[in-house]
Structure 1
Amino acid sequence: MSEIWTTTAAAPTRRARSARAAAARHRRDARIVRVVLTASVVAVLAMWWLSVPATFASTPANALTSIGELSGMVGALLVCAQVLLIARVPWFENAVGLDRLLSWHRSLGTSVILLVVAHVVFLVLGGELISRNPPWTEFVSVLQSYPDMLTALAGTIAFLAVGLSSARLIRAKLSYEVWYWLHLTTYVAIFLTFSHQLSGGAHFVSNPVNRVLWIALYLGTASAVLTWRFILPTLDAWRGRMRVVAVVPEGQGINSVWLAGPHVDRLGVRGGHFLLFRFLAWGHLGTAHPYSVSAVPADGHLRITVGALGDHTRRLPALKPGTLVFAEGPFGHFTADRASRARLLLVAGGAGIGPIRALAEELVARGGHPLVLYRVSTREQLALLGELQRMPGVEVIPLVGRRAELGYDPLGAGSLGRIVHDLHEWEAFICGPESMAANVEASLRELGMPQRFIHREELSMS
């Protein structure tokens, strides 16, 4: 197999150096974001330490209460950080990429839930040691003794509901629409819990400096969310409005939606990008869904190719020509700019063929000759295969069949090693279901491909 690719070795070194430089900047900026987040946590620790009483650990009750207060402060900070990570702040997205920001957002969510629970538990235990009341009685006493506690309780319950909805087992049973609207209550939860921090928080009531800094943190977060999450996206969506031209069946459970608009060619959409689409039709108004482009915009037209994976996607074939569509974006770093090697492997699973097809188109336009591995369970699911096969410079290998029927994993290390030789010298772009993408990445790592040359785009915003 590797002999086929000897002609690609002469790919321009300037483009490879440019891609490596861009990747280096990307890693540097991502480190800066991590440093800023870490410094913020350190700053909150300093606020707590400088305002904590000298007797904060003099008794077990005081120690537990102090831990509860600290847990609440750090948890509140991380809630703001969580919101900022997905507030579409341009610097964050350019530095890290929306896909990685979403991953960080999920990871912080677990920490926030644990800290919120710790905040409540340690405060109740500390009070219990002092009053000798049973835990439930002490919990009610805390609610009655401090201002704004009932609204804080409602906000805390909302936080817990949002956190539980993101757990893998629960998330699998929720539709995207339910998950989306439940997550919007995070903003309500933040509002409900904010007042009690200033009116009842021991480190804010008698410390004006901490109070001003805390208000500035929340005002800054709210301003960022309003500006980049709502106001500017609304204006951009109106400028980038489109209409449905046609819905075309591509394969079993997979449909393409062709869109047209006066400003489509000026959106800056690249192969591998995705946008958030809101279709103004019954069953689609409530949420904006992320879909990758499957054809690079040209002549005022854009195409997305979507698998029927939920209620929203199953309703797409019913869209009528002329339906108004608002699109926000583009987003993502799954683009040809990340390619820095001559040998390029594109792996698509199911509906992941859409962004892979668009990426292959752009790589060919840049002089590349990518190899596409297309994994599906049945031949009826092979959408866009003809387009890829007709694309000059692209080789496509369909991998069809269920593992139970085949008796092996077509994307396992052994199979990949037989299909493509010397994979440690290649660069890979993977798009498909999360489990498939993780499996392919593990196989490539086992075959010696360095992590920095493996790029993934998961078909999920949640």
Structure 2
Amino acid sequence: MSTTLAAYRAAVRRPRPVRAWWRDAAGLTAWLSLLFVVALWVSGRGLQDLGTSPEAFLTSTGRLTGLLSADLLLLQVLLMARIPWVERTYGQDELARRHRLTGFGSITHLAAHVVLISLGYAATDRSGLLGEVWLLVTTYPGMLLATAGTAALAMVAVTSVRAARQRLRYESWHLLQLYAYLGAGLALPHQLWTGADFAASPVATVFWWTAYAAAVGAVLVFRVGQPLWLNARHRLVVEQVVREGPDVVSVYLRGRHLDRLPAVAGQFFIWRFVSGPGWTRGKPFSLSAAPDGTRLRITAKDLGPGSRRPATLKPGTRALFEGPYGRLTGTVRKGPKLAMFASGIGITPLRALLAELPYGAGDAVLFHRARMQADLLFRRELEDLAARRSVRIHYLLGRRSHDRVSWLPANYAPVPDDQVLRHLVPDIAEHDVYVCGPGAWTEAVLDSARRAGVPADRVHSERFGW
């Protein structure tokens, strides 16, 4: 083994841990920004104006909702910016949930801002509401751009509703989410030209310029600059495509300086393969083998047009990527023992973790859920790991019970899930639990682990969904 490769493998065995205070710091920063915005509104006579007249009440409240909407919008952009320490702390599934909540909060406050300001100005001018809205949009500086930005943000909000997401392909939804950047950019001229609170004091001006600079800088560095640099440096191409099952393939990729690619087992990338129509639409796939410094492997199941593309790839096809992302890694691990739960294609990151992470003989157990024997992925590789490293494997085959929510097959139905878990792994509370699979199945595993006594900080999951 080369010195470089040996050093690489030694490094990935000691991943940088996620610090608990990172999460607290990120959350506290977000809340402090909202409190500071309210303080700016108060210092600009926001509270005093509430009691002077009905129209002043409407206008002042409209100012506050507008300020909160702008701050929430910038927080939403930061949540989308793929800032590494934030992403490793929260994980993409939780960041996506917080992004949706922040986005809905921003668009709700924005709608309130539009309505309240229009009503306040109409009452002041003694004019009709529709006429006042038309006057604001067509005569106030930056309002046409702000209106276009509002339309873009409304589209992002609508397509983020669960019912709408279920009708969209991941690639289309992901592309639509980028309009949030457009909405934020189009709102800035309105704040500069007509937003009195933006320049009400030097403190307010510094705050808003700093907030916008942080959001724009994060996007340019982590969403644009870093992917461009990593792709130029590593130049990944498809080496071979191997069929793992009737609807599952593994893609092996090679490139330059892969010993320096900052990826560990359990992570995923957003992939674009430069081949055929639609290649610009990215699709997330996890590493299904621990990176060894010479090549990467991802595994894809045919779940639609985007995940069907890997089966059609030819050797030499250029692969563009964003990442690595995901917190289902050794960085969140708390103790020496591991319990891993995988359903279907969710085995991909866990198979990589079992190969990469250190553990003693008998200290790792894997629960692998599938409908039938033919659906078990990487069975030969997993049984080789079981033989070499004494991994205990439980295959969970068959249909699940229709009478209750469970992660176990129907033949376990008479016994509560947590009792089965404690029977199969008596010291389960001493294990770090890693879970990857569909949403409902993952929730059932997490609930069972909690009831079996596994501490919350030892439970680590990555849900499939968006």
Q: Distance in 1 between matches of 2:430 and 2:207?
A: 51
Instruction: Tell me the secondary structure at the aligned position of residue 55 of structure 1.
Output: helix
Instruction: Tell me the secondary structure at the aligned position of residue 297 of structure 1.
Output: coil
Where do residues 43-442 of structure 1 align in structure 2 (5 Å cutoff)?
43-52=36-45, 54-93=48-87, 96-130=90-124, 135-204=129-198, 207=201, 210-298=204-292, 300-364=294-358, 369-391=363-385, 392=388, 393-404=390-401, 409-411=406-408, 412-442=417-447
Instruction: Tell me the secondary structure at the aligned position of residue 204 of structure 1.
Output: coil
- 2:405–2:444 Cα contact (<8 Å) kept: no
**Which residue number in structure 2 is paired with residue 4 of structure 1?**
none
- 2:88–2:326 Cα contact (<8 Å) kept: no
Judged with a 3 Å threshold, the aligned counterparts in structure 2 of structure 1 residues 162 and 295 are, in CA distance, closer, same or farther, namely same
Q: CA deviation at 1:345?
A: 0.9
Choose from 35, 47, 51 the match for 1:42: 35
Q: CA deviation at 1:325?
A: 1.0
Cα shift readout 1:258-310 (whole Å, capped 9, x = no counterpart): 11112223213221122222211114531333221111123612111122223
**Which residue number in structure 1 is paired with residue 25 of structure 2?**
32
Question: Mind listing any 5+ residue stretches in structure 1 that lack a counterpart?
Answer: 1-17
User: Which letter maps to 1:29?
Assistant: W
Q: CA deviation at 1:414?
A: 4.8
Q: CA deviation at 1:76?
A: 0.8
Q: Distance in 2 between matches of 1:22 and 1:286?
A: 34
- 1:275–1:290 Cα contact (<8 Å) kept: yes
Q: CA deviation at 1:422?
A: 4.3
Choose from 436, 445, 459 the match for 1:454: 459
Q: Distance in 2 between matches of 1:159 and 1:81?
A: 14
- 2:236–2:319 Cα contact (<8 Å) kept: yes
Q: Distance in 1 between matches of 2:291 and 2:85?
A: 25
- 2:88–2:325 Cα contact (<8 Å) kept: no
Provide the aligned length of Structure 1 versus Structure 2.
441
- 1:274–1:293 Cα contact (<8 Å) kept: yes
Report which stretch shifted further, 338-347 or 425-434: 338-347
**Which residue number in structure 2 is paired with residue 12 of structure 1?**
none
State yes or no: 1:445 paired with 2:445. no
Q: Distance in 1 between matches of 2:460 and 2:161?
A: 25
TM-score by length of 1: 0.87
**Which residue number in structure 2 is paired with residue 3 of structure 1?**
none
- 2:172–2:281 Cα contact (<8 Å) kept: no
Instruction: Tell me the secondary structure at the aligned position of residue 34 of structure 1.
Output: helix
Question: Mind listing any 5+ residue stretches in structure 2 that lack a counterpart?
Answer: 1-13, 409-416
Judged with a 3 Å threshold, the aligned counterparts in structure 2 of structure 1 residues 230 and 254 are, in CA distance, closer, same or farther, namely same
Report which stretch shifted further, 98-107 or 46-55: 98-107
User: Which letter maps to 1:260?
Assistant: R
TM-score by length of 2: 0.86
Report which stretch shifted further, 120-129 or 66-75: 120-129
Q: Distance in 2 between matches of 1:298 and 1:425?
A: 29
Cα shift readout 1:49-92 (whole Å, capped 9, x = no counterpart): 11236434322322222111111111111211221233233443
Cα shift readout 1:98-118 (whole Å, capped 9, x = no counterpart): 554444323312211221122
